[in-house]
Chains A and B, each alone.
Chain A
Amino acid sequence: MRYLPLTDTAREEIKKAIGIDDSKELFKSIPADKSYFDLAAIPSALSEPELIAEFKAMGRKNLFPGYLSFLGSGAYAHFIPEVVAYLSAKGEFLTPYTPYQPEVSQGNLQAIFEYQTMMTMLTGLDVANASLYDGATAVAEAVLLAVRKSGRQRILLADSLHPEYSAVVRTYTQNLPIELVTVNVNEADGRINLNDLQAKLNDQTAALVFQSPNFLGVVEDSAVLAQAVHPQHAYAVQAVAEAMSLAYLRPAADFAVDVVAGEAQSFGLSLGFGGPYLGFMTAREEFLRQMPGRIVGQTKDLDGKRGYVLTLSTREQHIKREKATSNICSNEAWCALRAGMYLATMGKDGLALAAGDSHLHAAYFVSKAAKSRQVRIVYQKNFYNEVLLEIKKGTAEAFLTALKKNKILAGVPLNWFYPTVSNRVLLAFSEVHSREDIDRLLQAMGEYS
């Protein structure tokens, strides 16, 4: 077997050296009646050509290629420059372990340091960690961070937070003395209802967790939200599902937001059926020693030369065990490295272009669809790259089925998450869509009846 370099001769030499005749003697400590179980249920090995054929066959059962997709809702199609794919696939980046030996890990450490810097530039906040699993778990970690830092147990969750993020927050906190309270959204503008927020906010509130752009596609007025919660000494925690928006919208720090956490898949990670993606967390400096996850810091070596290390590890499980800020160990380091490559490659201009076109393509669609007889645009302004449609006739499922016949995936139906909302669909746009793509969508919508 090509992955096993020991020859039979080498195996015999090793057995002789360690004083055994049969490999079975190695496993004497395992109950004899349980060991060397019958392997009959396990499939036979495939050769490399057979393996490729087998996976091609499985791939062919995926019929989505060839469909024009406007799916978003937490995972976004953006263009990935070839240099990003080429460089990130290098074994030097893909096959090291966590950089516990910094002297031979400066490449990864510097790359993550650069990634951290760019994430702080995008949010305007002081510090970034080196990654969390994904957007949903990053938001759950932000909830725990706010609780730790404030010493309070009440968390307000906007109803417009990605429903899977809310679900993960609920799972994470199900055995902890944390109270989760949902804050309603205005039907009129898709933003948080400030009266409801004020009614639910009290002096035991640790944080308001809101998403912007929110799950309905609407950009919140973060300044108003931060101003509302700060007098009660609660934190404003912003969740972000579409990181591309960070390059188009004013940075959270300008609005006095305390923590921004979310999903950075849009920065160069392929859709990959939902993972691996990249959870990120940025915060004001005062949160630093309560942050979860790895953090890379700059230091000097014995000769005074610049170098990088994993730092502030006294927060972490390998030192603090059950008193750690998080149980996270393996994280999404390679995804963060790749996101850094993407951001550096796109650069100041390219990122602005992709982020701008993502909005402008959605705006083009909205301007054309505004007159539609088949659909109503629920929020005609302050969307970023996602648009909520209301189907005037029939259900969202009927609408999507009809467009699927035209090889178009025209969004995610809201009833997947809000069972009572039967006629709304969320569509996402980005720089990958051409004008022809959007016109094709508009045409197919026009033919729906």
Chain B
Amino acid sequence: MSPLPDLIFEISREGKTAHGLGASRVQSKPAIDPGLLRTAIAGFPQVSEVEIVRHYMALARLNYSLDQGLYPLGSCTMKYNPKINEKLAASEEFQAHPYTPHELVQGNLELMARLEEWLVALTGMAGFTCAPAAGAHGEFTGMLIVRKYLKEKGDPRRVVLIPDSAHGTNPSSAHFAGYEIREIPSNAEGIIDVEGLRPFLKNDVAALMMTNPNTLGIFEKNITAIADALHANGSLLYMDGANLNALLGIVRPGDLGVDVMHINLHKTFATPHGGGGPGSGPVGVAAHLLPYLPVPRVVKDGGKYGVVFAAPHSIGRIKNFYGQFLVMVRALAYLCSLGRENVRQVAEDAVLNANYLRKKLQDVLDLPYPTATLHEVVFSDKNLPVKTLDIAKRLLDYGFHPFTIYFPLIVHGAMMIEPTETESKETLDEFIAVMKKILLEAREQPDLLLQAPRQTPVRRLDETLAARQPVLKWHKGENR
């Protein structure tokens, strides 16, 4: 008996209905060539309303979510998503059509402008666009800005440098902006230094993409010297702000020589991740790059807000309409709630929590880089009788979502743990106790780990089978 509910198609029965639409009183005839019209959609669901509710409630119960418990995915910043923000984002008065005349949507335009002001204040960048749809989209936008700026200065250059600890989106985003990628090694401390950078810093280098704090949780302390070296070479510094949470109210990237950066509203600014999106990846730039920001741009003219749809140096449009507006509503609500009094506390608590986990677990797990860390810590599975994957799966049995596994790539069997500031010390103590218990089990009863998880709706899934014989949709009678 499968623990999963039947597929919606399998519970479908001819004649059932869940929609409440009535018949239209408009009398008219189709005005399309009959050959262009479709017949009924074979196999499409026919389910009653109560069955819809139960189907999705059954699916909901199969998910682990942040509302249920700790979600310590490193570099993902799974912090609590405030409920009032959901209510505000669902408010009818924000649900305007994106082509509504501007004088009728002054509130929405003000909201976007205010969010940009907040981001400027927190990062020290000269200006922001909230158009990018996600972090990787922000990276791509940022690299297009870099390229256009350098091209207009005479040479777009060929190469983007990316540290070996970077997230996979960095090289991919730079690639689609037309760049070749050169990977630069981290030093023994887990960071980039000017001496290590120097051999790579040729005159074909457009930019360095640096995640700071990096994916080991370490602040790139040489950042200002690196920025100076890049600038002396005519190159730019891109900062991936995925981990900005650690710096909130502590330091502004704009003060460190950063030319362009992106942030993630769905990480640092508490908007829900939705099981993989929607996110939002605003991009901030230093003053010399302002003309290159994508359109549209919200502007204030006198007492009114307006929109600029074309600008001579802009990279152009990167998304339909204005971006992920309802994500922006949530992020602004979060920032207004935090205010000056709490932004710094967010970073301090996030770093305190991560360092507490580090301290308590470093006796039982290998810490490959002893350098001080901020919001996350990365352990390796060196000297363990089991693999990282087995520990992660055993955590599921104990009701915890695991940390990020096997990333960054420079750590063997990486376990990348980011608790965020929205976890209590009591929760962290529970997690620490469970981790210690699992590591004890690893030595005494490794089968408990190798066979894990046992307490989840399904056991380990065959990913090789899924990729070798792809079944990507329901076929009548074939999915059992």
B401 adjacent to A327 (CB under 8 Å): no
* Binding stretch for chain A, among B15-23, B196-204, B282-290: B15-23
Instruction: Tell whether A390 is near chain B: CB-to-CB under 8 Å.
Output: no
Instruction: Tell whether A258 is near chain B: CB-to-CB under 8 Å.
Output: no
Q: Which residues of B contact A28 (CB under 8 A)?
A: 372
Q: How far is the CB of A418 from chain B (nearest CB, A)?
A: 13
B98 adjacent to A17 (CB under 8 Å): no
Q: How far is the CB of B154 from chain A (nearest CB, A)?
A: 16
- A3-B346 Cα distance, complex, nearest whole Å: 9
Of B19, B340, B401, which one neighbours A101 at CB under 8 angstroms?
B401
List residues 111-158 of chain A with CB under 8 A from any CB of chain B.
Answer: 111, 113-114, 116-118, 120-122, 127-128, 130-131, 133-137, 144
Instruction: Digitize B265-282: 1 where CB-to-A-CB distance is under 8 Å, 0 elsewhere.
Output: 010001011111111010
9 tightest Cβ-Cβ pairs between the two chains A and B: A45-B339, A274-B321, A350-B19, A334-B274, A175-B178, A333-B276, A274-B98, A59-B93, A91-B67
Question: Other than the known A31-B221, A329-B136, what 7 A-B pairs have Cβ atoms closer than 8 Å?
Answer: A39-B249, A45-B337, A51-B337, A98-B273, A111-B56, A288-B472, A354-B21
User: Nearest residue in B to A348 (C-beta to C-beta)?
Assistant: B44
Of A108, A116, A322, A324, which one neighbours B275 at CB under 8 angstroms?
A108
User: Nearest residue in A to B266 (C-beta to C-beta)?
Assistant: A330
B321 adjacent to A87 (CB under 8 Å): no
Q: Which residues of A contact B229 (CB under 8 A)?
A: none
Of A6, A110, A313, which one neighbours B352 at CB under 8 angstroms?
A6
User: Nearest residue in B to A71 (C-beta to C-beta)?
Assistant: B97
A273 adjacent to B472 (CB under 8 Å): no
Instruction: Tell whether A367 is near chain B: CB-to-CB under 8 Å.
Output: yes
Given A14-B355, A275-B278, are A69 and B97 also a contact pair (CB < 8 Å)?
Answer: yes
Given A44-B339, A46-B336, A347-B45, are A95 and B66 also a contact pair (CB < 8 Å)?
Answer: yes
- A308-B84 Cα distance, complex, nearest whole Å: 33
Instruction: Tell whether B168 is near chain A: CB-to-CB under 8 Å.
Output: yes
Instruction: Tell whether A335 is near chain B: CB-to-CB under 8 Å.
Output: yes
Q: Which residues of B contact A106 (CB under 8 A)?
A: 3-4, 59, 62-63, 457-458
- A75-B336 Cα distance, complex, nearest whole Å: 29
Q: Which residues of B contact A330 (CB under 8 A)?
A: 134-136, 264, 266, 273, 276-279, 281
User: Nearest residue in B to A167 (C-beta to C-beta)?
Assistant: B317
A114 adjacent to B40 (CB under 8 Å): no
A164 adjacent to B346 (CB under 8 Å): no
B470 adjacent to A288 (CB under 8 Å): yes
Q: List 13 A-B contacts (CB under 8 A).
A: A29-B219, A42-B122, A52-B88, A62-B96, A94-B81, A101-B396, A103-B453, A113-B472, A277-B321, A300-B462, A312-B470, A328-B137, A363-B28
Q: How far is the CB of B353 from chain A (nearest CB, A)?
A: 7
Q: How far is the CB of B267 from chain A (nearest CB, A)?
A: 9
Q: Which residues of B contact A104 (CB under 8 A)?
A: 62-64, 396, 401, 453, 456-457
Instruction: Tell whether B412 is near chain A: CB-to-CB under 8 Å.
Output: no
Of B82, B278, B315, B459, which one neighbours A303 at CB under 8 angstroms?
B459
Instruction: Tell whether B187 is near chain A: CB-to-CB under 8 Å.
Output: no
B457 adjacent to A51 (CB under 8 Å): no
Given A26-B348, A107-B59, A337-B275, are A348 and B97 also a contact pair (CB < 8 Å)?
Answer: no
Interface residues on chain A, number (Cβ under 8 Å): 203
- A338-B395 Cα distance, complex, nearest whole Å: 29
Instruction: Tell whether A306 is near chain B: CB-to-CB under 8 Å.
Output: yes
B156 adjacent to A175 (CB under 8 Å): yes
- A116-B473 Cα distance, complex, nearest whole Å: 6
Instruction: Digitize A217-255: 1 where CB-to-B-CB distance is under 8 Å, 0 elsewhere.
Output: 001010000000000000000000000000111110000
- A114-B43 Cα distance, complex, nearest whole Å: 12
Q: How far is the CB of B224 from chain A (nearest CB, A)?
A: 6
Instruction: Tell whether B311 is near chain A: CB-to-CB under 8 Å.
Output: no
List residues 114-147 of chain B with CB under 8 A from any CB of chain A.
Answer: 118, 121-122, 124, 133-137, 139-140, 144, 147
A175 adjacent to B177 (CB under 8 Å): yes
- A305-B319 Cα distance, complex, nearest whole Å: 41
**Most chain A beta-carbon contacts within 10 A, residue among B44, B58, B251, B323:** B44
Of A83, A308, A328, A363, which one neighbours B134 at CB under 8 angstroms?
A328
List residues 350-372 of chain B with CB under 8 A from any CB of chain A.
Answer: 351-353, 355-356, 358-360, 372
- A341-B318 Cα distance, complex, nearest whole Å: 29
Q: Which residues of A contact B172 (CB under 8 A)?
A: 317, 320-322, 324, 326-327
